[in-house]
Amino acid sequence: MTKQSTRYCFTLNNYTDNDIELLRDFYANYCKYLVYGKEVGEQGTPHLQGFFTLKTKLSMPAVHKALGTKSIALLVASGTSFQAATYCKKGQQTKEEWNSLKDSGPNHGLNFKGEEFGSIPSPGKRVDLDLLCEAVEEGKSLLEVSKIHPASYVRNYRGLANLQALNTKPYEHETVRGVYYWGLLVQVNPIQPAVYVLNHYTLNPKANGGMDMPVNHTSS
């Protein structure tokens, strides 16, 4: 099943004015919030660095279809909406400053060029918990989920663990790996002649006067 989400980060290299119009239309029809910043990478490639939250969950193929282009690189957002948005609005702030100080850096937003539509979802228990639940439903491990918002995870870890259990698919395999029998060997042989003793210390015909004893048997 294709994963769905309401929160995506995106990168669009060598964008055109038409690409920007597509983003504006996409926001109007599908999004609660969208932001992008115009940046130039270390190799000199102009690109848009953006983030959006959707009105309803969509898969990546569905987002590409809604945007009308497959050239945009999508990634399900793993942090909070605020973190993703401030990253897109960093402007010409250096990577080193962002990594160490984030939006508290003196150059955050320097010469920012881009657009922002809507409002960033306000932080709070409900929003944080929704974010963690969505991460669980996307298949992230509880360790990964705990790093998104530790405080909310600690308060709600039992419920998140239950949600993960409900979303875990039953184990499936095409071939049977083992069939186990419990009972007398003489009763098992007619069912499966190829059985062998699982524990040779349990069945010892010489020590027991040649009598079959209750043992575990298996077929491979």
Please give the positions annotated as active site.
87
For Cα atoms 175, 179, 185, give the angle at the middle one, nearest 5 degrees.
150
Task: Locate 156 and state its tokens.
Answer: 């709600």
